[in-house]
Structure 1
Amino acid sequence: MNLRKTDRSELNLFPALSFLVVCFIGGYFLWATKDALPSEADNTDFRYAPSRAKELAQELDSIYSCKSGPGMEKFLETWHRKYTSNASAPGNQDDTLRNVYNLFTTLFNPDPTLRPRGFRSDSAYRYVVIQSQLTFCVAEDGMFDYYYESTPPPTFPTDGFYLLRKAGAYYRVLDDFRPQIRQAGLKQLYLTDEYKDALELFLEKNGYWPDEERTSAESGRKRMRFLQNYWYVINGHWEGWHLGIPAIGYIVLNKSLDKAVAEVVEEYNGSGVLLHKTHSGWKEVGGLYHWEE
């Protein structure tokens, strides 16, 4: 038997070794980042696209064209099931955010029998639209006490948050805000970007428009009245839509996290409320201002 020495040019291991190295690195990356990748159960807005809002608006158009009650109920139930509260999510569990979420839950108190323009109904709403953005501010204790608990209080505009922001207080906007609510009989509809855009596309224009656009504005009002069969939605005084009533305009916390001010927005009016934290939770202790459009 003849044995011969293998020439290196006949056996090149570099491509095979390179392939194995790439597979190893790729596999390690997927393993290391598996917890960071979104799952199907993660019902946030990371998959939002404008095309999705257009699809939802078209679905609403179809429902409205035949005034389909079952179709609208199906639309709302799908919306309700798609998003759940993220108040208990790990990223919302530091002391400041936990208090922001708890303050909203304390102050958010929709009346399901109340209808736009102050009318009452024997049939209660089953759904409530909840804002998905909230601005909050953290102020030094001394600054908070000066603006909100001085006797007599300083004169400041109805937007008390603006004054604190001007004074240099830290503030932040929560963009994926999905709080819990206390009203067990109401199904929450979180106003994420895709649903906000879809509703605005469906409602079209609103306001005091020139003659050539008046027909479009009237169409929007009719569509609004259709939605009012299901939840509290109203047109803006001049333009736009208030897609969820009530709402919280802003929250201001002191640095010790035991005092707060919040603005509660109703239909064309709002009020600044002072709260203190007690052993049983947040309690309203007084009103600061009131505004009306």
Structure 2
Amino acid sequence: MDIFRPLTLILLFLTTSPVVGQHKDIYKELNTLYQGRLKYSFDSFMDTWERASRSKGKVVTMLTGMEKTIYQIHHDFFQPLSFRFYGWEAWEDRSWFTDTKYIVIQNKVPFKVVDNLDSLKDQVDCPDTIFNFRPQTIFNQATTLYLLPEYEDALKRFLDEECFREQGPVNPKTEFLEERIRTTLKIDWTTIITQPEIFAIYLSRDLKSAVIDYRLASTGMRSLLQKEHEHWVIKKSEELWIE
């Protein structure tokens, strides 16, 4: 008999149960807000999320290697308040998120270094991913939030996948969130992040060029970026697909 197995299980329970409990508490609080049984406002819930996010941010100057490069690209590329930045002139200086109070940053970014960016196919598997993505992105018009695991799990549980698939965009819970967090929930129940949603970043081996696959509204996009004077600049963009 393995005498260490019971001890291992006990330690695993002690280290994970507080996290699981935290997820349940956030879900319970969110559901109670939805049912109108809490006296304080939804803004207080969001303030707590913002404080939790603030303590998890990563400063680019403290990063090294590929992680630093990906963070720098995201900093120069992520402009959710104006779709014109990505070549959509019809939107002028607006986007689906222009008047939002909160910007929710995706929690992981897949990437791959390739030999030839010009030969990329529509979809390329990325063997590497930066998890716990926490860029210190600041917007004057909105508060930045990270999709922390405890909030992601609570929100997914709150939305209820089965219920969403049955009711689609008329799910009252999505309407409840839409009034408070501008998201793309009507496209995909799991999409509780602010666009552009980055699917993958492909980099040249000299790390001076990059191609980004991403989503704007219901459109799949691809942009070519070049590094100029320590900043990443979009050189061209194209539409890959429309849902």
Q: Provide the TM-score with structure 2 as the length reference.
A: 0.76
Alignment of 1:1-293 (within 5 A): 49-66=19-36, 70-84=40-54, 85-88=57-60, 90=62, 92-94=63-65, 96-111=66-81, 124-139=99-114, 143-147=115-119, 156-157=121-122, 159=123, 161-162=124-125, 165=126, 171-205=127-161, 206-209=163-166, 221-235=171-185, 237=187, 240-246=189-195, 247-293=197-243
Contact 2:210–2:225 (CA<8 Å) still a contact in 1? Answer: yes
Change (3 A) 1:69 1:184: farther
Contact 2:19–2:150 (CA<8 Å) still a contact in 1? Answer: yes
Distance 2:50 2:119 in 1: 40
Partner SS, residue 184 of structure 1: coil
Partner SS, residue 44 of structure 2: helix
Contact 2:213–2:223 (CA<8 Å) still a contact in 1? Answer: yes
User: How many percent identity over aligned positions?
Assistant: 22
Q: Deviations over 1:196-225 (max 9, x none)?
A: 11001111135543xxxx5xx67x821111
Q: How many pairs does the alignment contain? A: 214
Unaligned runs of 5+ residues in structure 1 are: 1-45, 149-155, 166-170
Distance 1:174 1:200 in 2: 22
Distance 1:65 1:202 in 2: 12
Change (3 A) 1:269 1:77: same
Unaligned runs of 5+ residues in structure 2 are: 1-15, 84-90
Change (3 A) 1:193 1:93: same
Partner SS, residue 232 of structure 1: coil
RMSD over aligned CA atoms reads 3.1
Q: Deviations over 1:81-113 (max 9, x none)?
A: 1123213374x222x222210111112111289
What letter is aligned with 1:93? T
* Structure with larger Rg: 1
Distance 2:209 2:25 in 1: 44
Distance 1:47 1:249 in 2: 32
Distance 1:269 1:97 in 2: 27
Distance 1:67 1:147 in 2: 56
Change (3 A) 1:146 1:47: farther
Q: Provide the TM-score with structure 1 as the length reference.
A: 0.64
Partner SS, residue 241 of structure 1: coil
What letter is aligned with 2:58? N
Distance 1:134 1:101 in 2: 10
What letter is aligned with 2:190? W
